[in-house]
Chain A
């Protein structure tokens, strides 16, 4: 057999696991060392904090068995390494920072599906030195998207799966560095599902990547990379236990419904569609100054659209089928058995428990309306839509420049760099579909009810009583600007017994809002630029590796950082006004870890203890409250977090081709302060609460297993095949607490012995869960073609009753805490990913 093939297999086995060294390695779409890394989590529903955070997962290429297991086997259960969100991991592309400035989150949706490119990433999911950037406390991941980063030759792959999408086709070609000094590469990808794992979802996504690299001379090379991923998909909801029980489907999706077509057939239509395309253009210059030093300079830009649709309605019933007043439990709670039974029957039928598109069209078709102004002049006549589908846009325009100088000589290496990034997010709503109506009036329905001044209801005073039609901008329209400047320096020093590093970062974050509409409720502070906020921050970190022997190491890392609040959390109600949280302050983070590492050829082991505190963070959520007919903005300040735990991973050869691994994560992720909360309503200047004390200390951070364990076996045969099994166990899963329930106000009227007291404040712990995964692969060499077949079967036992997380609704009723029960999501049942790859 071919030597190359052998090499591939040696990479797939665990034998070359290299814990703390930086390696660029290949990642395959199969288990453990080589996993598909883009794990789409269930949507956050109403509590969604924004558009960008909807894809999570780990860009995982480290061959550390812990990180690999967490990335593949744990992430479907929403496990987060060290309890961190994606904003704590720095994502870079060709060394250029890619995290969204507005939120801090990773922007995987920009290159979704380009797995042939993104697998060439260098990832460390822990506190570490970093030659590209100071990075985050959750490590970094640098995607090598240069033309020479793509292996020479062709790679064609097809995957069939039953997850978010059903089919994936990818083709990638790289020339490698040619004699003329040019290297070219491209990659195309398409992912498609008419209907995904969850009913009513669909997937239509493409990815493209083009890169050209020119080696000008021995010292200079230039690379241009362009990539993008135009994606359309229909989303899935998470809902309450009652809806799952009533529908008999733990993956009940409230976002879709049947719509009758002209020919009488009924078609599933999703109300929550995402349409995104944000290409990245990156130009890099590598300058090898001399044998010891180099300078890498990049210019980059990213721009494009990210739109999400949703139903909107005016003077009409809530069209969402899982609205609480459409559930039997609501009527049971008010002793109305007749309606409870009626709702129960309604939920027995698949069609009637979904969105009633035909009824929405019908309601619009009956609403003949003449709109007049105060003088009686007719402004519009026709069918005024009661229901519409709107698109909430968050469109990006950003640019960045970075320059990193590297010096390496003998035992010393120095990395220092400067980064400048500017980003403009354009938020606005458009009407996607009037659902058969003729027009929509751009007024704020809540303000219309509550204020005598007709101006108060205007979305845009510059353009009052606007009649809007499909495609028109309405409701809100504003920019958020973020400008960031960062400089860092890192020094590494190696001795025989100990390796050291130390790094320092200085950064400046600047943001403001610019309103394009003059909101009727806030005429004086909605149009034009807001106050600008500026934050200067610094960060230091350092670490040492003590070499007990060539096979055993003890390493320690520590960091102290201050971080600017994100503009996403700083603006209270950016949809309507230029108002920010009072006393915005930097978040302070200190963290450290202690690791013991073994690296024998047939046994690898890492044991880590980590400790992290975050202080003075902001926590904000928006949710729709039907009694206010408006979004409520809930902002907590001075939120502290506490994370500590152990990470343990071992893998090694048992005998012959049989290897085994065990991974254990025991974590304690807590809220660590008594924050203060302020509550605002989008459609009103009224502040519902100010500086309310939240008794949140020591509540568990929810929505993820705090602890998890995995045990795996893999057999690699001599004929280039392998097969294995993984058993994964998840524990300490809590619902994320609704802060407002942990207040003096929420329990006012209760005494300690009242059951409602504990019902209101006690945190819900979910059942522990497990999953069993199988994987297998085989390679063939046919002439000069290499064919790899990989099969992954996740959740082999089809365990569909494992609740992996959820959250308490922000709305609650203390007398009947179950009136607004938590929203929960389940682990997908048996799912598979089968891929054939042909290389030539």
Chain B
């Protein structure tokens, strides 16, 4: 066989292979816009422009980049998202509800968008959901800025994603839901840190979790900083990532402010030992029509009376310290009101059958002049069954009218 000839042509064949390889042709591309530096604007700049010019309508196709810090998937916000880039953030309002996800890095083409302010919040309005938001990447990490309540400064933090550690809903919010899910009204819910600072989150009645009961523990909350005409309000991003399951820290453990017009709500009871004059709701003379608790043994004449207004059982065993404060006022002559504490009262029955310790407080000097009791230390009573009680005593010849309000137990 003529191998030489074969080899010659085989070489030719081998020589053609790289030739084919070199014929690789790049596919055609439709004309596409390239972004140059002049086509990109930062959120910071947008905020500055808004401060400078008020309202702006964009006609050019400049773009802003950012990471979606809060999406609208749980319904707490609707047809809007929050966008953040570094330390700057902005509220973006959309023409249509979107499927954007937190962590989506997006480019927003600004043509057609309106930069403005609403209730104090700088916003990018009228952004076309379908055409102008281009997702660049998903699942981009965006760490919330950890702040304390006093550190939040609207002028710096507006629309930013923040995290507050060691916070808990106030005791006055217990048993409430995040919002009014029945009427789908947004509602504010107050929370506090362990230093007594408090603030509220505002939740939409359309949020998936609007009907969930507020958690009672403590923990971290991840929120967007927002405002309503100068009032700082926070928007909770999702209850799942803000689980308040830790032990409660110092803070309002129990609040009785009578504002619900209900004397016994929250588990308070009246224990009538003598006579028929009982604790009741009063509104006379109170400013802003806020109800309070009141008792008097006068009904054209004085009648002997002993009536206890007893708190629900409180478990203070997890608290490191506890204190009590309340407002009080009285008029007329008679026995002083007493504030007492017990760790063995079963919740019902004649209080005199159990052991109570009287606590000292600052008391009103009469003429229905309200004073605050001052902080009354309960640290000696950190048990799992603590009751406090206001003991009223009147005689056939005398008896004061006592008014109490804003009973707050911190623990």
A interface with B by C-beta (< 8 Å): 333-335, 548, 551-552, 596, 598, 600, 602-603, 605, 607, 609, 644-646, 648, 666, 668, 670, 674, 693, 695-699, 742-744, 746-747, 749-757, 761-763, 815
A662 to B401, CA, bound (A): 111
Q: Is B31 an interface residue (CB 8 A)?
A: yes
B137 vs chain A, min Cβ distance (A): 7
| Residues of chain B with a CB closer than 8 A to A697's CB | 27-28
14 pairs, CB–CB < 8 Å, chain A vs chain B: A646-B16, A646-B20, A648-B13, A670-B25, A698-B26, A698-B28, A747-B32, A749-B109, A751-B33, A751-B63, A752-B33, A753-B107, A753-B136, A755-B135
- CB < 8 Å neighbour of A645 from B20, B32, B39, B135: B20
Q: From known contacts A333-B99, A749-B131, infer whether A699 and B28 are also in contact, taking CB-CB under 8 Å.
A: yes
Q: Is the CB of A699 within 8 A of B27?
A: yes
Q: From known contacts A333-B99, A755-B137, A815-B130, infer whether A750 and B9 are also in contact, taking CB-CB under 8 Å.
A: no
Q: Is the CB of A750 within 8 A of B32?
A: yes
6 closest A-B pairs (Cβ-Cβ)? A697-B28, A698-B25, A695-B28, A695-B30, A744-B30, A698-B27
B404 vs chain A, min Cβ distance (A): 50
Q: Is the CB of A607 within 8 A of B9?
A: yes
Q: Is B134 an interface residue (CB 8 A)?
A: yes
Q: Is B23 an interface residue (CB 8 A)?
A: yes
Q: Is B132 an interface residue (CB 8 A)?
A: yes
Extra contacts besides A698-B26, A699-B28, A746-B30 (18): CB < 8 Å: A335-B99, A552-B5, A598-B6, A602-B1, A646-B17, A646-B20, A698-B28, A743-B30, A747-B32, A749-B132, A749-B134, A750-B33, A750-B134, A753-B35, A754-B136, A755-B137, A761-B27, A762-B27
A752 to B39, CA, bound (A): 13
Q: What is the chain A residue whose CB lies nearest that of B133?
A: A815
Q: Is B12 an interface residue (CB 8 A)?
A: yes
Q: What is the chain B residue whose CB lies nearest that of A749?
A: B131
A602 to B2, CA, bound (A): 12
Q: Which of B27-50 contact A (CB under 8 A)?
A: 27-35, 39
Q: What is the chain B residue whose CB lies nearest that of A601?
A: B1
- CB < 8 Å neighbour of B20 from A668, A744, A761: A668
| Residues of chain A with a CB closer than 8 A to B101's CB | 335
B333 vs chain A, min Cβ distance (A): 69
| Residues of chain A with a CB closer than 8 A to B136's CB | 753-755
Q: What is the chain B residue whose CB lies nearest that of A741?
A: B30
A696 to B109, CA, bound (A): 27
B369 vs chain A, min Cβ distance (A): 59
Q: Is the CB of B23 within 8 A of A696?
A: no
Q: Is the CB of A596 within 8 A of B32?
A: no
| Residues of chain B with a CB closer than 8 A to A698's CB | 25-28
A437 to B1, CA, bound (A): 76
| Residues of chain A with a CB closer than 8 A to B28's CB | 674, 695-699, 742
Q: What is the chain A residue whose CB lies nearest that of B136?
A: A755
Q: From known contacts A335-B99, A698-B26, A751-B63, infer whether A605 and B6 are also in contact, taking CB-CB under 8 Å.
A: yes
Q: Is B73 an interface residue (CB 8 A)?
A: yes
Q: Is the CB of B12 within 8 A of A754?
A: no
A763 to B28, CA, bound (A): 11
A233 to B23, CA, bound (A): 44
A609 to B99, CA, bound (A): 52
| Residues of chain B with a CB closer than 8 A to A693's CB | 30
Q: Is the CB of A551 within 8 A of B2?
A: yes
Q: Is the CB of B27 within 8 A of A644?
A: no
| Residues of chain A with a CB closer than 8 A to B20's CB | 644-646, 666, 668
B interface with A by C-beta (< 8 Å): 1-2, 5-6, 9, 12-13, 16-17, 20, 23, 25-35, 39, 63, 73, 99, 101, 107, 109, 130-132, 134-137
| Residues of chain A with a CB closer than 8 A to B17's CB | 646, 666
| Residues of chain A with a CB closer than 8 A to B39's CB | 751
Q: What is the chain A residue whose CB lies nearest that of B134?
A: A754
Q: Is the CB of A744 within 8 A of B16?
A: no
A605 to B99, CA, bound (A): 60
A158 to B12, CA, bound (A): 47
B72 vs chain A, min Cβ distance (A): 10
Most buried by B among A335, A743, A756: A335
Q: What is the chain A residue whose CB lies nearest that of B20?
A: A666
Q: Is the CB of B99 within 8 A of A596?
A: no
A756 to B39, CA, bound (A): 19
| Residues of chain A with a CB closer than 8 A to B1's CB | 600, 602-603
A552 to B20, CA, bound (A): 25
Q: Is the CB of A761 within 8 A of B35?
A: no
B196 vs chain A, min Cβ distance (A): 40
| Residues of chain A with a CB closer than 8 A to B6's CB | 598, 605
Q: Is the CB of A752 within 8 A of B27?
A: no
Q: Is the CB of B23 within 8 A of A644?
A: yes
Q: Is the CB of A596 within 8 A of B9?
A: yes
Q: What is the chain B residue whose CB lies nearest that of A609?
A: B16
Q: From known contacts A607-B9, A607-B13, A754-B136, infer whether A744 and B35 are also in contact, taking CB-CB under 8 Å.
A: no
Q: What is the chain B residue whose CB lies nearest that of A748?
A: B131
| Residues of chain B with a CB closer than 8 A to A603's CB | 1
Most buried by A among B1, B13, B27, B35: B27
A757 to B27, CA, bound (A): 14
A670 to B130, CA, bound (A): 33
A707 vs chain B, min Cβ distance (A): 9
Q: What is the chain A residue whose CB lies nearest that of B17?
A: A666
| Residues of chain B with a CB closer than 8 A to A757's CB | 32
Q: From known contacts A607-B13, A646-B16, A666-B20, infer whether A751 and B27 are also in contact, taking CB-CB under 8 Å.
A: no
| Residues of chain A with a CB closer than 8 A to B130's CB | 815
| Residues of chain A with a CB closer than 8 A to B12's CB | 596, 607
Q: What is the chain B residue whose CB lies nearest that of A597?
A: B9
Q: Is the CB of A761 within 8 A of B23?
A: no
Q: What is the chain B residue whose CB lies nearest that of A674?
A: B28
A689 to B196, CA, bound (A): 66
A699 to B25, CA, bound (A): 9
A548 to B5, CA, bound (A): 10
Q: Is the CB of B30 within 8 A of A752?
A: no
A605 to B130, CA, bound (A): 59
| Residues of chain A with a CB closer than 8 A to B63's CB | 751
B12 vs chain A, min Cβ distance (A): 7
A109 to B21, CA, bound (A): 38
A754 to B106, CA, bound (A): 9
Q: What is the chain A residue whose CB lies nearest that of B6?
A: A598
Q: From known contacts A334-B99, A743-B30, infer whether A751 and B35 are also in contact, taking CB-CB under 8 Å.
A: yes
A555 vs chain B, min Cβ distance (A): 13
Q: Is the CB of B73 within 8 A of A335?
A: yes
Q: Is the CB of B30 within 8 A of A742?
A: yes
A408 vs chain B, min Cβ distance (A): 32
A248 vs chain B, min Cβ distance (A): 28
Q: What is the chain B residue whose CB lies nearest that of A607?
A: B13
A763 to B34, CA, bound (A): 21
- CB < 8 Å neighbour of A751 from B5, B25, B32, B99: B32
| Residues of chain B with a CB closer than 8 A to A674's CB | 28
